[in-house]
Amino acid sequence: MNEPLRPEGFQGYHRVGNAREDAELTHVGPGTPCGEYLRRYWQPVAMSEELADLPVVVRVLGEDLVLFRDRSGRPGLLHRHCAHRGASLEYGIVAERGIICCYHGWHYDIDGTILRAGSEPADSPICRNVVQGAYPVHEHDDLLFAYLGPPEDRPPFPVFDSERMPDTARKPFAITTPCNWLQVYENTQDPIHVLHLHARSSGVQFGAASGIDQVIEYQDTPLGMMNVQTRQVGEHVWVRTVDSILPNANQTGAIWEEAEAPKAFRRCAILRWMVPVDDTATRTIGWRFFSPRLDPRGQDDPTLVGRESIDFVGQTEDERPYEERQRQPGDYEAQVSQRPIAIHALEHRASSDAGVARLRRLLRRRIRELAAGERIRQPDACGLDAVPTYCQDTVFRWRGADRPTAEDLRAAGRCVAGAVLGSDRLHPQRREAHVREAAERFAA
């Protein structure tokens, strides 16, 4: 057979360009299209344990802020620089109610209104005319969420069904990655990297079964999209769905899944938000879930889950020496090295990037809908006690005489994904039964 025709090599000189990043999807500061979009949703900004008696400087969506808990226990999130003459409120005195700027004693409530303007008279017009920038904070299961959008558009705080898994413990974590948020987020709709980065380039980093080649498809969900990964593992077929909850949340199944026993609609090990610090840094904040159902071999390690740390490899810079990270790179190395902001115009996307392309398209559509004045879509509990989501693992025994073909695996994936999507108005227990029955019908 003839070698395929290739372009001429040694073309470095001709490949130096000045292409720019895709600002519409990557710039997040105030007034940017993507920044406006992300500001319409509750975003986690810290773990509760990061907030002791002193105020904490946080940077979110390119804004410098100060997070504190007043002495009556209420969390507050104010613009960092005092409305008087700009001293940072990180040096403020936390009060019974709100915080007092160290410099001239202006006293702010958690909503930014002035309770007393230092030495000005108590009835000073300053108290009526000046307000410090402030955002509402909602504390929920050891995470502090903030809403940075226009007050009149503040949505109800969403609780997701994965948070209601029975007999499941959870622990918060927060991990900083020095690159644009989209690189971290779109990684979750790039399932082919699990095979290359996490099983071949670096040896097996997660469950061995996740290193088996899979059939991948993508589907929209009411919350965004999901990928459907279907593999043959020994005598079983394993269908994993991984969902992206727009604009920037993601759920992922059991880290060490080996698909060695039948199961249906087994839920997720992680719920996390990729929150932009600014255009070139991201803080992934969320919960790691623990239960024997998700981790039958006891490979999880909750003691490693917390501030800048999680219990699987390759997520931070500090956890390993540079040489080891070069020899066995993980998500951190891959994502950060795509440049501070990946430049889409320089990419040569392939068929395996269909999920990334789809996620970018979805985000761009929503960003433009918002800019055009359309109503923003918020997660909807549909009358249930939590918002239904779509991440799960289903494993069933393959009964065919021969190995499943790629077409068989695709059909299995579609069957399970259809049952997952079609059962989202059911109570979680009935939903599990619904998915199990669909998988069993398919297998029979």
> Which residues contact Fe ion (rule: CB under 5 A)?
331
Q: Would you put residue 360 in left (φ > 0), alpha (ψ -120 to 50) or beta?
A: alpha
Looking at the Cβ atoms of 89 and 255, the one nearer to ligand FES is 89
Residue 118, contacted partner among ligand FES, Fe ion, none, CB below 5-8 A by kind? ligand FES
Determine the Cα–Cα distance for residues 73 and 59; give it in Å rounded to an integer. 22
User: Where do contacts with ligand FES occur on this chain (CB under 6 A)?
Assistant: 82, 84-87, 101, 103-106, 118
Q: In a 3-state reduction of DSSP, which class is residue 200?
A: helix
340 binds, among Fe ion, ligand FES, none (CB under 5 to 8 A by kind): none
Q: Cβ of residue 76: shortest distance to ligand FES, in angstroms?
A: 15
Q: What angle do CA 309, 310, 316 make, to 5 degrees?
A: 55
Radius of gyration of the chain (CA): 24
How many C-beta atoms surround the C-beta of residue 145 within 10 A?
A: 22
Whichever of 161 and 331 has its CB closer to Fe ion, that residue is 331
**Residue among 278 and 331 whose Cβ is closer to Fe ion:** 331
Q: Which does 331 bind (CB under 5 to 8 A by kind): ligand FES, Fe ion, none?
A: Fe ion
Write down the least CB distance from residue 340 to Fe ion, Å.
19
The distance of closest approach from Cβ of residue 92 to ligand FES in the complex, given in angstroms and rounded to an integer, is 8
Residue type, 11: Q
| Amino acid code (one letter) for 281 | A
- Rounded Cα distance, 444 and 441, in Å: 5
Distance CA 292, CA 232 (A): 24
> Smallest distance, Å, CB 81 to ligand FES?
8
**Rounded distance, CA 430 to CA 212, Å?**
31
CB-CB neighbours of 271 under 10 Å? 22
Nearest approach in angstroms of CB 271 to Fe ion is 16
106 binds, among ligand FES, Fe ion, none (CB under 5 to 8 A by kind): ligand FES
Residue 87 binding partner per list ligand FES, Fe ion, none, with a CB distance cut-off of 5 to 8 Å that depends on partner kind: ligand FES
* Closer residue to Fe ion in complex, CB, 217/331: 331
Q: How far is the CB of 118 from ligand FES (least distance, A)?
A: 6
